[in-house]
């Protein structure tokens, strides 16, 4: 009980500096965990989401824009695909499924996407899982002005089956651009934790023939989501559309395009990680500084302990343990900081992208980072511990006679 | 119990030269013996006690405590010997201010044979502080702090008790009581007592009083 008692008493005696130092370690731990977990989960979520389709066919332009628009419902559509082109890819022998989508409207900022029922009945949004509507609802009738609402949109706007709404033109909400067409909600999608949760789905014809839309584009689609019969067929289609053709773009393979996106923004991860590492180093320095600064006041206590028979290594161990305990306090609090920070960040990401991040999802870094904080705290205690180790007992037991 | 021969200790003066502080050719104590040493302030008494306790290492000579020669022991072994065999009562008590009365005593025990809270409580009750176990030293009177120091020094059942001006900070009444307590508890424990003081009233209570100037050749009589 010797070292625990010494450590406990010392921490109590220096409670304020202990709390401040532990708080700085907690901040570092929380930041590191958040940066790491957001990066890992976001990448995984984006890649998982994109696994439902092998390729996207759209107007000539950026493959990344095409994928973001068609799969993640971000960005604007680069242009339209004609009905003939849609029919061509749909009946291509290498294509297993071709799901057209049409965009261009919103409801209070939430994107409205036109598609065909096959999107919900034929496609697994992730391995082994089909879209489903909550009890009491059904998918829309493609011939009617009906809508199925994503789980997040329904919750945020308070929509339920039987409600009606009028779409607004454009991808951004403009109260002066409301269409007169009235849609009735027939179903609320069960949460999928994918971008589909933040979309209002209506029949493809609904977007194509919306009052006010260009009648000449009434048969066009914004993009075609493609499942291939064999992955190798993508190479052939890539040559067909991207090299030999000049009107359309085939974004293939989707996973690689998303990976490329993360590659392009990896500098941001590195900057955030660097900031977190710097905070951690500063926190370790603060452990060193706070204990070292208190050494003058501790000299007499240490000399008394030594005069009672405490070995030098006991004193060294006590200071090192104290530093490690500060690290432990920082690590534990850091996990709480992470939980709070991650929840906020995950909320923003969900609203912006539809990707759902889980604060409780296991990853080894959840253990490694707190352990590193404890080690960092202990490392910050080495210099003060060495100073304590070298304290002269006789010189610090005043006065003498 | 304690045998000293040709003990020498020098310090470096601010001018850089050596100053011989302790030069004791011979001194000894038998088990249970109680001896007081008279000495003026600055005469090297504390250094002498620090050498016996192993807090300071001698430049030359031999100090044997309970048959073990300090010079032959490494620092860690000296620490252990001090924790197990020697009880040290300091003039300024040297209590740990951030620890309770009970913790001060228990901590002293933990470096020796092992912490024994029950035994520590018995000792504190013995010195009349059973009702102050969870108090901090600053919450005690000077006399009470002295009694904590006595309890701590005796907690490990030492074979030798060193007392450095133990009544120097007490008034007459408390000094007398503290001294009686130290002598009585040492007698009960069978521990040898070496007390240094310049207080004639304290010294008068001892049968065997030695003059530090006669023991230490570095001090002019």
Give counts: helices (H), strands (E), chain A.
15, 12
Q: What are the boundaries of each domain within chain A? A: 2-46+265-396, 55-252
Q: Does B100 touch chain A (CB under 8 A)?
A: no
Largest CA distance in chain B: 52
Residue B220: exposed, middle, or buried by beta-carbon count in 10 A (0-12, 13-18, 19+)? exposed
Which residues of chain B have a CB within 8 Å of the CB of A9? 96, 98-99, 103
Say what the ipTM of the complex is: 0.90
Residue from the list B76, B96, B198 with its beta carbon closest to the beta carbon of A301: B96
Residue from the list A10, A310, A397 with its beta carbon closest to the beta carbon of B111: A310
Q: Could you state, in chain order, the average pLDDT of each consecutive group of 10 residues for chain A (401 residues)? A: 87 90 91 90 79 90 92 87 94 95 94 95 88 94 96 94 95 93 96 89 93 86 94 88 89 88 82 83 86 86 92 94 95 96 91 82 93 92 93 75 47
B168–A401 CB contact, under 8 Å? yes
The CA distance from A295 to the nearest CA of chain B, in Å, is 15
Residue from B9, B45, B98 whose CB has the most chain A CBs within 10 Å, to mutate: B98
Whole-number pLDDT of residue A221: 95
A209 contacts A171 by C-beta, under 8 angstroms = no
CATH architecture of B2-96+139-215: 3-Layer(aba) Sandwich (3.40)
Selection from A170, A190, A392 nearest residue A299 by Cα: A392
Whole-number pLDDT of residue A303: 93
Going by their DSSP bridges, the two strands A223-228 and A164-165 should be labelled as unpaired
- List, as own/partner pairs, every contact residues A231-238 make where C-beta atoms lie below 8 angstroms and the sequence separation is at least 24, other chains included: A231/A54, A233/A94, A233/A95, A234/A54, A234/A55, A236/A94, A237/A55, A237/A89, A237/A92, A237/A94
A393–B99 CB contact, under 8 Å? no
Whole-number pLDDT of residue A400: 47
A308–B98 CB contact, under 8 Å? no
B46–A401 CB contact, under 8 Å? yes
B198–A313 CB contact, under 8 Å? no
Name the percent of chain A lying above pLDDT 90.
59
Q: Does B98 touch chain A (CB under 8 A)?
A: yes
Tens-digit pLDDT profile for residues A134-178: 999 999 999 999 999 999 999 999 999 999 999 999 999 999 999
Whole-number pLDDT of residue B142: 87
Selection from A185, A197, A202, A181 nearest residue A101 by Cα: A202
Q: What are the boundaries of each domain within chain B? A: 2-96+139-215
DSSP letter (8 states) at residue A151: H
Whole-number pLDDT of residue A386: 95
Residue A74: exposed, middle, or buried by beta-carbon count in 10 A (0-12, 13-18, 19+)? middle
Q: Does B196 touch chain A (CB under 8 A)?
A: yes
Measured in whole angstroms, how far is the alpha carbon of residue A81 from the centre of its chain? 32
Dump the DSSP string for A36-87.
HHHHHHHHHHHHHHHTT-SEEEEESS-HHHHHHHHTS--S-----B-HHHHH
Spans in chain B with pLDDT lower than 50:
none
A305–B152 CB contact, under 8 Å? no
Q: Does B104 touch chain A (CB under 8 A)?
A: no
Residue from the list A300, A309, A401 with its beta carbon closest to the beta carbon of B165: A401
B83–A309 CB contact, under 8 Å? yes
C-alpha span between A29 and A371 (Å, rounded): 10
| Closest chain B residue to the Cα of A315, Cα to Cα | B111
A2–B108 CB contact, under 8 Å? no
C-alpha span between A323 and A384 (Å, rounded): 9
């Amino acid at each position: 009980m010797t070292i625990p008692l010494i450590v406990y008493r010392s921490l109590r005696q220096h409670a304020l500096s202990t709390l401040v130092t532990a708080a700085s370690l907690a901040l570092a731990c929380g930041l590191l965990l958040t940066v790491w977990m957001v990066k890992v989960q976001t990448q995984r979520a984006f890649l998982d989401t994109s696994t439902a389709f092998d390729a996207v066919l759209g107007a000539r332009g950026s493959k990344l824009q095409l994928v973001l628009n068609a799969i993640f419902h971000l960005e604007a559509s680069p242009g339209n695909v004609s009905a003939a082109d849609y029919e061509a890819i749909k009946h291509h022998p290498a294509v297993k499924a071709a799901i057209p989508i049409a965009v261009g409207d919103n409801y209070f900022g939430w994107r409205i996407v036109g598609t065909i029922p096959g999107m919900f009945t034929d496609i697994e949004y992730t391995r082994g899982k089909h879209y489903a509507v909550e009890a009491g609802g059904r998918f829309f009738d493609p011939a009617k002005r009906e809508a199925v609402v994503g789980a997040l949109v329904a919750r945020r706007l308070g929509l339920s089956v039987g409600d009606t709404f009028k779409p607004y033109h454009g991808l951004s909400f403009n109260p002066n651009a409301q269409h007169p067409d009235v849609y009735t909600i027939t179903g609320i999608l069960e949460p999928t934790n994918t971008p589909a949760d933040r979309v209002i789905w209506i029949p493809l014809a609904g977007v194509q023939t919306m009052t006010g839309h260009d009648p000449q584009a009434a048969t066009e689609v914004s993009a075609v989501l493609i499942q291939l019969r064999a992955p190798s067929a993508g190479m052939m289609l890539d040559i067909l559309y991207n090299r030999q053709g000049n009107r359309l773009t085939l974004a293939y393979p989707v996973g690689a395009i998303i990976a490329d996106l993360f590659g392009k923004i990896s500098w941001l991860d590195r900057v955030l990680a660097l900031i977190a590492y710097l905070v951690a180093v500063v926190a370790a320095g603060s452990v060193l500084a706070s204990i070292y600064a208190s050494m003058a006041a501790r000299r007499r206590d240490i000399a008394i302990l030594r005069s009672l028979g405490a070995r030098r290594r006991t004193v060294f161990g006590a200071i090192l343990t104290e530093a490690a305990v500060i690290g432990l306090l920082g690590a534990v609090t850091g996990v709480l900081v992470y939980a709070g920070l991650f929840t906020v960040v995950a909320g923003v990401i969900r609203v912006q992208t539809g990707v759902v991040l889980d604060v409780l999802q296991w990853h080894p870094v959840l253990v490694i980072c707190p352990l590193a904080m404890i080690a960092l705290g202990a490392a910050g205690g080495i210099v003060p511990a060495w100073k304590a180790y070298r304290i002269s007992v006789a010189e610090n037991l005043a006065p003498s006679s | 119990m304690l045998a000293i021969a040709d003990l020498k200790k020098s310090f470096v003066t601010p001018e850089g030269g050596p100053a011989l502080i302790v030069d004791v050719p011979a001194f000894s104590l038998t088990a249970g013996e109680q001896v007081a040493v008279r000495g003026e302030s600055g005469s090297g008494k504390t250094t002498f006690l620090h050498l016996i306790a192993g807090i300071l290492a001698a430049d030359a000579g031999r100090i044997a405590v309970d048959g073990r020669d300090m010079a032959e022991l490494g620092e860690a072994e000296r620490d252990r010997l001090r924790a197990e065999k020697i009880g040290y009562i300091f003039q300024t008590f040297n209590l740990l201010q951030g620890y309770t009365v009970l913790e001060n005593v228990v901590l002293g025990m933990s470096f020796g044979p092992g912490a024994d809270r029950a035994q520590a409580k018995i000792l504190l009750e013995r010195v009349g502080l059973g009702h102050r176990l969870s108090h901090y030293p600053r919450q005690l009177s000077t006399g009470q702090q002295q009694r904590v120091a006595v309890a701590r020094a005796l907690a490990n059942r030492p074979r030798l008790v060193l007392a450095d001006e133990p009544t120097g900070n007490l008034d007459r009444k408390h000094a007398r009581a503290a001294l009686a307590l130290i002598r009585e508890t040492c007698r009960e424990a069978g521990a040898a007592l070496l007390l240094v003081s310049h207080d004639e009233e304290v010294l008068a209570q001892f049968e065997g009083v030695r003059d530090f100037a006669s023991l230490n050749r570095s001090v002019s009589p």
